[in-house]
């Protein structure tokens, strides 16, 4: 096989196929060139892209060309370029004896599309999962906590510890509602007016004078009047 001829013919064909995209890096001692590949949605601003660099060996196409991957875009941690490199080398071994660069580029292009489809699917599933989680959280917020016998008994025990027993709460409520004399006096204004009303109605008060003895018959001196202390009976003896 004329390796040089096979190689030169393939480079010419590839330059026609990938016109404007293929870049020849060297021609001697062997050809070296790169061809960019990208997923279908990359031109829309969302997708994967990289460059495949091929270097012929002296006995290509009966040997697998040297393959490199560079300028990866949007690979990040979600795309392993070594996985793509492994795939291309396997494809090369499967196509030994015939020119294979177009086949390898097509395989790389398909791999990027499949990877990007998986990435988009995972992202969509994450968005849906978050949406479902938010909806469930919102439903739980309106539902509240489901009450079981066990949770109710635990709640009641804690409530009674904090608030006291029902009988104790009833007593405290009654004591709280009781009013002192002062509070009654301040609340009921009629009590304020009762004595005044009694005095105003003095003409209506009748005194039975027969209940009193004739004060003239009592032997009360002026001195006794001066020493008299209300509420004190009799005289003090030395």
Q: Is the pLDDT of residue 237 over 50?
A: no
- Count the helix, strand and coil residues of the chain and give each as a percent rounded to the nearest 5: 55, 10, 30
pTM of the complete model: 0.55
Contact 11, 84 (CB under 8 A): no
Query: What are 26-39's pLDDT values in tens digits?
Result: 999 999 999 999 99
Q: Per-domain residue ranges for the chain?
A: 3-120, 145-195
Q: Could you tell me the two tokens for 153?
A: 């008994």
3-120: CATH number: 3.10.110.10
Query: Which of 46-55, 169-178, 184-193 has the lowest average pLDDT?
Result: 184-193
The closest alpha carbon to 65, from 37, 38, 109, 34, belongs to 34
- Range scoring the smallest mean pLDDT among 129-143, 150-164, 169-183, 209-223: 209-223
Instruction: Give me Rg for the CA atoms of the chain.
Output: 56
**114, 87 Cβ separation under 8 angstroms:** no
Helix (H) or strand (E) holding 73: strand 66-73
Q: Is residue 219 over pLDDT 60? A: no
- Comparison of pLDDT for 139 and 86, the residue scoring more: 86
CB 112 within 8 A of CB 37: yes
Confidence check: pLDDT of 175 > 70: no
pLDDT of 235 reads: 46
Instruction: Reply yes or no on whether the pLDDT at 173 is more than 80.
Output: no
DSSP conformation letters of 159-176: HHHHH--HHHHHHHHHHH
Residue 125 tokens read as 């599933």
**What distance in Å separates the CA atoms of residue 147 and residue 152, rounded to the nearest whole number?**
6
Residue 91's nearest CA partner among 79, 108, 77 is: 108
């Amino acid at each position: 096989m004329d390796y040089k001829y096979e190689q030169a013919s393939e480079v010419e064909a590839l330059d026609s196929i990938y016109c404007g995209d293929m870049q020849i890096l060297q021609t001697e001692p062997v050809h070296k060139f790169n061809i960019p590949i990208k997923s279908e949605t990359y031109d829309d601003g969302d997708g994967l892209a990289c460059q495949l660099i091929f270097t012929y060996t002296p006995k290509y196409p009966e040997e697998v060309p040297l393959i490199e991957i560079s300028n990866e875009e949007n690979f990040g941690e979600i795309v392993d370029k070594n996985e793509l490199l492994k795939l291309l080398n396997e494809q090369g071994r499967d196509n030994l004896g015939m020119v294979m660069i177009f086949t390898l580029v097509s395989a790389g292009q398909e791999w990027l599309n499949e990877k990007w489809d998986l990435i988009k699917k995972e992202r969509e599933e994450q968005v849906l999962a978050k949406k479902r989680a938010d909806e469930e959280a919102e439903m739980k917020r309106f539902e509240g906590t489901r009450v079981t016998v066990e949770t109710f008994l635990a709640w009641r025990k804690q409530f009674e510890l904090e608030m006291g027993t029902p009988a104790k709460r009833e007593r405290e409520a009654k004591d709280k509602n009781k009013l002192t004399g002062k509070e009654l006096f301040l609340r009921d204004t009629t009590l304020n007016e009762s004595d005044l009303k009694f005095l105003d109605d003095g003409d209506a008060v009748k005194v039975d004078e027969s209940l009193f003895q004739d004060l003239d018959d009592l032997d009360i001196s002026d001195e006794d009047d001066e020493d008299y202390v209300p509420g004190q009976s009799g005289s003090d003896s030395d």
